[in-house]
């Protein structure tokens, strides 16, 4: 490849740096920390460990979806009809398929919950359930501590 941005200093007023552009077939063997733009897949890729990995997609949008449920102080399992939606009008159901607890971000009352420590996922898809180690609090009318927020799609941002 022979084109590296090594010890590069941008001139005052410069706003871009050119990343080498190569098709998949012409990617170099790779060294940790190298970055290319893969013209076959239209993605930026970085070399990590022993392989090239997508850093981002240059040709598409990613969707982040948020599900919101509410705790009642006793329920520990939500989803697939268990628990309540945020407005208590329906039972809690995932709007996006879930199978891996690390593919979602979970907050209870705005506090981040650690996957497999604070919650687990059972099943898969939109019929999956999330089970907390202790029941999220009920609505006290003064705080939002009862709100369970689940953010889907974060794992896809680097694809």
Same domain, 77 and 153: yes
Q: Which residue has the tokens 């705005």?
A: 110
- Same domain, residue pair 85 and 43: no
Same domain, 106 and 137: yes
Instruction: Specify whether 105 is located in the same domain as 153.
Output: yes
155 pLDDT tier (thresholds 50, 70, 90): low
- Contact (Cβ atoms closer than 8 angstroms) between residue 133 and residue 127: no
Residues 120 and 98 in one domain: yes
What pTM value is reported for the model?
0.61
pLDDT tens digit sequence for 23-44: 999 998 888 888 888 899 888 8
pLDDT over 70, % of the chain: 81
Q: Give yes or no: residues 148 and 75 share one domain.
A: yes
82 DSSP 8-state letter: B
C-alpha distances out from residue 110 to 37, 86, 135, 141, 152, Å: 37, 14, 15, 16, 16
Interatomic CA distance for residues 57 and 86, integer angstroms: 33
137-152 average pLDDT score: 86
Structural domains counted in the chain: 2
What's residue 110's pLDDT? 87
- 30 with 83, same domain: the answer is no
Which of 30, 59, 88 delimits the end of a domain?
A: 59
Asked whether residue 54 falls in the same domain as residue 79, the answer is: no
Same-domain check for residues 72 and 35 = no
Same-domain status, 115 and 135: yes
Q: pLDDT at residue 158 above 60?
A: no
Where does a domain end: 59, 81, 108? 59
**Residue scoring higher pLDDT (82 or 99):** 82
Lowest mean pLDDT among 88-97, 122-131, 137-146, 148-157: 148-157
Q: Which domain holds residue 44?
A: 1-59
Residues 142, 119 share a domain: yes
Pair 105, 150: CB distance under 8 Å? yes
Residue with tokens 């740096």: 17
- Residue-level pLDDT at 3: 52
Considering the domain architecture, whether residues 49 and 70 belong to the same structural domain is answered as no
- pLDDT value at residue 14: 66
């Amino acid at each position: 490849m022979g084109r590296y941005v090594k010890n590069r200093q941008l001139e005052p007023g410069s706003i871009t740096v050119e990343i080498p552009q190569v098709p998949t077939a012409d990617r170099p063997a790779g060294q940790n920390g190298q970055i290319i733009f893969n013209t076959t897949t239209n993605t930026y890729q970085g070399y990590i460990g022993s392989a090239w990995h997508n850093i981002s997609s240059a040709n598409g949008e990613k969707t982040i979806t948020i599900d919101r449920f509410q705790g009642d102080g006793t329920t520990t399992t939500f989803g697939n009809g268990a628990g309540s939606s945020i407005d208590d009008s329906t039972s809690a159901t995932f709007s996006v398929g879930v199978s891996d607890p690390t593919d979602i971000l979970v907050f209870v009352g705005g506090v981040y919950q650690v996957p497999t420590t604070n919650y687990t996922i059972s099943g898969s898809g939109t019929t999956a359930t999330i089970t907390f180690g202790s029941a999220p609090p009920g609505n006290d009318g003064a705080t939002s501590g009862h709100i369970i927020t689940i953010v889907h799609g974060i794992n896809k941002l680097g694809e």
